[in-house]
Amino acid sequence: MVKSFINKMSAIFQHGSFNTLYGGFYEGTITAGEALKYGQIGIGTLDGADGEVIILDGTAYHGNSENQVRIVKPDETLPYVAVIDHQPFATYKVNGLTMQTLHDLTEKFPTRNTAYSLKMTGHFESVEISSKPAKNTKNYLEILAEQPHFTEKNISGTIVGIWSPKFLEDLYGDGAHLHFLSDDKTFGGHLTEFLSGQITIEVGQVGEMKQEFPQENENFKAMRFE
């Protein structure tokens, strides 16, 4: 650890959840403009479980299944989004980090019985991402199995997302749920694997979780989640 300091804890606002997506609810029920009020970084997907949303520095970007990135308009809707008021309590300087060694790094966190906000910035030897197609109607596991993957090498950018313990997996997933966006804003999506060069990792301990579901939406009220 290079730097550690006392600061206020991170807060997560989440609309929808890991399991509402897996249960097949893909209808956008919150606008990007509303969601962005809650923090500076985050992850999500657009209406229809279309692609991957990366929130960085208070702006939402959409990575689609054609490997293209654009800024999300304020009135576009999302079925799932997690927005984080990221307040890091520690920073690490690391080289050669992968998904596996990131898991090892979490063993150094103060406790593994809470969620953490993560932001990793710097140079990456390789980054592999995935991104769902638009207008999905299939089972979510089928969508994930069929989605395209893209790889870039020698790229600079930022990883943002959440690490959560197993007992919170119905809300956030088990372990790290991360999205990547390149510095030039042309490459971004759901992070599946990476090998870092020299990067800085910021870790924030989550002290507040606000969970919201679209209780006024008739289609959501009629869903039967298995």
Mean pLDDT of 34-55: 98
CB atoms within 10 A of CB 190: 24
pLDDT of residue 112: 87
* For the chain, percent of residues with pLDDT exceeding 70: 97
pLDDT band per the 50, 70, 90 thresholds, residue 4: very low
Domains for the chain: give ranges and CATH numbers.
3-222 (3.30.1330.80)
pLDDT band per the 50, 70, 90 thresholds, residue 108: confident
pLDDT band per the 50, 70, 90 thresholds, residue 6: very low
Mean pLDDT of 36-44: 98
User: Cβ neighbours of residue 41 under 8 Å, at least 6 residues apart?
Assistant: 55, 56, 57, 83, 84, 86, 117, 119, 160, 161
Q: What's the alpha-carbon Rg for the chain, to the nearest Å? A: 16
- CA angle, 31 then 34 then 37, to 5°: 145
Indicate the pTM of the whole model.
0.95
C-beta of residue 199 within 8 angstroms of C-beta of residue 97: yes
C-beta of residue 20 within 8 angstroms of C-beta of residue 219: no
pLDDT of residue 46: 99
